[in-house]
Amino acid sequence: MKEIIANFTYDTFLQLVIIILGTIVIAQVVTFLLAFIGKRIVKKTQTDVDDIIIDSFRGPIFYTIVLTGIYTALRILFFGDVVKNVTLPFFQTTLIILWSIFLVKLIKVLFEYFSTTHKVKFVTVHTLPLFLNMSFVIIWVMSVYVMFNVWGINMAAWLASAGVMGIAIGFAAKDTLANLISGVFILTDAPYKIGDWIVLDSGERGKVTDIGIRTTRMKNTDDMEVTVPNAIIGNATLTNESGGDTGEEYRVKIPFGVAYGSDIDEVERLVIEIASENENVLKNPTPRARFRMFGASSLDYELLVWVESSAKKGVTTHQLNRAIYKTFNDKNIEIPFAKQDLYIKELPQDKNI
């Protein structure tokens, strides 16, 4: 440091200022040319994401050129090795932080673009926070590792300690880790999304209200929120009532029976008419009545209708059951119920009589 001060004169200071100003001018020209050429290349594209990426490059490139010029000037003017040993780690650390911030912003722009255009299947609006957080952690962990090497800090001992701690934490929180890993797979595979109606193995049915890293929350038909660990969902077979090629449309089945001897043509006409008059039932696909089997005491039917979404399954089932019952009563169509006849073969004999 004393050698640097001893060699510092007015002429040296003037040269340093000239080099810095010249470097700034060069950086401005280079970034302008790169932006100009880049925008001419991507001008024909229909998206703005490439323009955003090109603009975001200008800052890191500009400051990289300026910092490189300042560092080079200091080495030339102050006889290199002294300045190198003192200032090089500072410049390198600054550049690492600068480019790390740029990478975080760049990945955010790309993931947001993919989530809205659906060009990458597993990147959606719901999985976007997961990928942003993962990329943020990976970039900064790598940046810290590189900065430690720049400053000559040995990472081996730190990594060994982290490995031992990781094993201990893994055994202590294996259930939590299982939920976290399952949450990552759920967000990636997207077997359901927020707003879908799902049915669990246990028969619990509800609307998904939140998909977290550890748990999934849904509101069941009793308007109560149910929290299910992701590890349970990840290992279970569930039915997504809002999935499939039909989108949100959902088929509702109404089983019913009529007595033997009923006019089945009249029965089918009435239930189709009832379904067609219901405001929740879609006109296309059209309602259908299907004669399923000859039951023990009834002719077993199913009325098949479609509704806008699985959320309307309950109220539509209620309305159609009421309408069928009332219509059959009015038309004197018998809805049979199970009956048992008891035959007494022999009455007990009272010896005292």
Contacts of 259 (CB under 8 A, 6+ apart): 297, 298, 299, 333, 334, 335, 336
Do 94 and 173 fall into the same domain? no
Do 6 and 148 fall into the same domain? yes
Do 32 and 143 fall into the same domain? yes
pLDDT at position 328 is: 95
Q: How many angstroms separate the Cα of 44 from the Cα of each of 52, 106, 113? A: 15, 21, 18
Give the CATH number for residue 292: 3.30.70.100
Q: Domain boundary at 91, 126, 153, which?
A: 153
Q: What is the pLDDT of residues 177-230, one digit of tens each?
A: 777 778 777 777 778 888 888 888 888 888 888 887 788 889 987 888 999 998
Is residue 166 assigned to a domain? yes
- The mean-pLDDT minimum among 85-89, 167-171, 273-277 falls in 167-171
Do 103 and 149 fall into the same domain? yes
Q: Considering the chain, what is the average pLDDT of its residues?
A: 81
**Most confident of the following: 7-16, 135-144, 145-154, 158-167:** 135-144
Q: pTM for this one?
A: 0.52
Is residue 136 assigned to a domain? yes
Do 43 and 99 fall into the same domain? yes
Do 11 and 28 fall into the same domain? yes
Identify the domain containing residue 290 by its residue range: 250-330
Of 253, 258, 279, 280, nearest to 269 by C-alpha is 258
DSSP 110-134: HHHHHHHHT-STT--TTTHHHHHHH
Give the CATH number for residue 164: 2.30.30.60
Helices (H), the chain: 2-6, 10-41, 49-77, 81-117, 128-150, 156-172, 174-189, 230-234, 264-277, 313-330
DSSP conformation class of 283: S
Q: What is the mean pLDDT of residues 164-182?
A: 68
Give the number of other CB atoms < 10 A from CB of residue 190. Answer: 16
Do 255 and 199 fall into the same domain? no
**C-alpha 35, offset from chain centre:** 34
pLDDT at position 1 is: 47
Q: Domain total for the chain?
A: 3
Is residue 147 assigned to a domain? yes
- The mean-pLDDT minimum among 26-35, 287-296, 327-336 falls in 26-35
